[in-house]
Amino acid sequence: MKTLDELLRQERFSDADIVRLLGLTDPEDCERLRRAAYDLTTRLVGDLVHYRGILEFSNRCTLNCRYCGIRRDNRELERYDLSLEQLVEGAVWAAENNYGSVCLQAGERRDELFVAFVEECIREIRARTRSERLPDGASITLSLGEQPLETYARWRAAAGEADCMRYLLRMETTNPEIFARLHPDGFAHEKAYASRIQALEDLRTAGFQVGTGGMIGLPGQTLADLCADIRFYQRMDVDMLGMGPYILSRGGDMLDEGMLEQGPLLQLALNMLAVCRLVLRDVNIAAATALQALAEDGREQGIAYGCNIIMPNITPRPVRKRYQLYDNKPCIDEEPTDCRACLEGRIHRMGRRVGWNQWGCSRHFRRRM
Ligand code: SAM
């Protein structure tokens, strides 16, 4: 059998290699994996960490994903929508504070009112975030679930010509049985699984930089499942990944299925990030906020294991509590300004720099274009 160091020097990995790396638990082995992923990150995508200020603009959702605290049937939740002005102001605040990029996230809706609202927001944000420091305005990531191709095309067109539009749609898991168990909604389950894949393909057709990812540590999920997820990301030739640990949610419908213990779950999630870096190489990888629900410095650990993107929460404080996807979600009582200051210090302490006033496009996207 190859030594771990031999394995980590490879550029190609078999499924058995991937499963072995995902399952590392010995602290010295994990440190070797971390080092390999970190070095590859700085070598291939540079030492900048890019921010995407995330605006969680509505917790209304038409779906009932069982893991999620804002699912349709959670009747405890007071629902909210930010107005166009609030959303645009949030994006302008981000641009004035040197964030080159924002992310608009909400529960899933497909009605015309919602589609037109998002279209208008994109136009306004693109127009009103232009400045001397950011002449072409902010880039925008949308995270608004599965939509028909026409909707993706409308949202893409609203931004104009520039390659500034990204979309994050997690596959969640490529294990069809787990996928079906998590998503009790709508059509027959096989169709729901296929329609998620179709949506990812449609996003590419519509001209977005495409990101996907999944939850790590789902009940019943094995290392082989996580390896299959990585192979799926490879096959889809994605530009970005947004992955995080699965965390129990009191607003969800999976309380009796439990979750992995905090320490092993964090290590598994970090291993997954590192292995994705080694296998997918020059994609953007976000250090999910959910990592911070497991450890105070969870996102910094994500950077140390190969992430190069952080998504500081810039949602106005009064509504943050109502976007509780999972328990122990961090930064709920903070203002956008608190997040900005505390994160930059943490990134500098790691010897990295923040990519202020940049879109921070995925190198993979640049290469495939
Ligand atoms: N509705 C859109 C969608 O599904 O893509 C965007 C919002 S959705 C709340 C964003 C992500 O939150 C999901 O892709 C899911 O992976 C994550 N999420 C929801 N509940 C979670 C939980 N209990 N633990 C970890 N992540 C969770």
Worst-scoring range by mean pLDDT, 27-36, 167-176, 339-348?
339-348
Look at residue 125 and give its three-state secondary structure.
helix
**68 CA distance to ligand 1 middle (Å):** 6
Mutate to test the pocket of ligand 1, among 72, 147, 215, 272 (most ligand atoms within 8 A of CB): 215
pLDDT band with cut points at 50, 70 and 90 for residue 189:
low
Mutate to test the pocket of ligand 1, among 260, 262, 325, 328 (most ligand atoms within 8 A of CB): 325
Work out the average pLDDT over 237-256.
Answer: 97
Work out the average pLDDT over 214-224.
Answer: 98
pLDDT score of 340 more than 70: no
Whole-number Å distance between alpha carbons of 353 and 347:
7
**30 CA distance to ligand 1 middle (Å):** 27
Task: Kindly report the protein residue whose alpha carbon is nearest to atom 21 of ligand 1.
Answer: 68
pLDDT band with cut points at 50, 70 and 90 for residue 343:
confident
3-state secondary structure 59-104: CCCCCCCCCCCCCCCCCCCCCCECCHHHHHHHHHHHHHCCCCEEEE
**106 CA distance to ligand 1 middle (Å):** 10
pLDDT score of 206 more than 90: yes
More confident residue, 31 or 333: 31
Work out the average pLDDT over 66-90.
Answer: 97
pLDDT band with cut points at 50, 70 and 90 for residue 190:
low
Work out the average pLDDT over 57-61.
Answer: 98
- Residues 94-143: pLDDT tens digits? 999 999 999 999 999 999 999 999 999 999 999 999 999 999 999 999 99
Ligand 1 neighbours (beta carbon < 6 A) = 67-68, 70, 105, 107-108, 143-145, 169-170, 172, 215, 244, 246-247, 249, 252, 290, 325-326
Give yes or no for a contact between 172 and 215, defined as CB atoms under 8 angstroms apart.
yes
**325 CA distance to ligand 1 middle (Å):** 7
- Residues 300-322: pLDDT tens digits? 999 999 999 999 999 999 999 99
The atom number, within ligand 1, closest to the CA of 245 reads 25
**66 CA distance to ligand 1 middle (Å):** 10
Where do the structural domains in the chain lie, given as residue ranges? 26-368
pLDDT score of 342 more than 80: no
Task: Kindly report the protein residue whose alpha carbon is nearest to atom 19 of ligand 1.
Answer: 68
pLDDT given at position 186: 54
**175 CA distance to ligand 1 middle (Å):** 17
The residue type at 256? D
Verdict on whether the full-model pTM lies above 0.90:
yes
Mutate to test the pocket of ligand 1, among 61, 62, 68, 268 (most ligand atoms within 8 A of CB): 68
pLDDT given at position 188: 54
**159 CA distance to ligand 1 middle (Å):** 25
Work out the average pLDDT over 321-347.
Answer: 81
Task: Kindly report the protein residue whose alpha carbon is nearest to atom 14 of ligand 1.
Answer: 170
Average pLDDT, the chain: 95
**67 CA distance to ligand 1 middle (Å):** 8
Burial 165-189 (b: 16+ CB within 10 A, else e): bbbbbbbbbbbeebbebbbeeeeeb
Long-range Cβ contact pairs of 345-353 (< 8 A, separation 24 or more): 346/297, 346/300, 347/49, 347/300, 347/303, 347/310, 350/300, 350/303, 350/304, 351/47, 352/47, 352/48, 352/49, 352/303, 353/47, 353/48, 353/49
Look at residue 333 and give its three-state secondary structure.
coil
Task: Kindly report the protein residue whose alpha carbon is nearest to atom 2 of ligand 1.
Answer: 145
Does CATH number 3.40.1360.10 belong to domain 26-368? no
The atom number, within ligand 1, closest to the CA of 254 reads 23
pLDDT band with cut points at 50, 70 and 90 for residue 346:
confident
Whole-number Å distance between alpha carbons of 217 and 219:
6
pLDDT score of 232 more than 90: yes
Look at residue 7 and give its three-state secondary structure.
helix
pLDDT band with cut points at 50, 70 and 90 for residue 366:
very high
pLDDT band with cut points at 50, 70 and 90 for residue 11:
very high
Whole-number Å distance between alpha carbons of 15 and 275:
11
pLDDT score of 332 more than 80: no
Give percent of the chain with pLDDT exceeding 70. 97
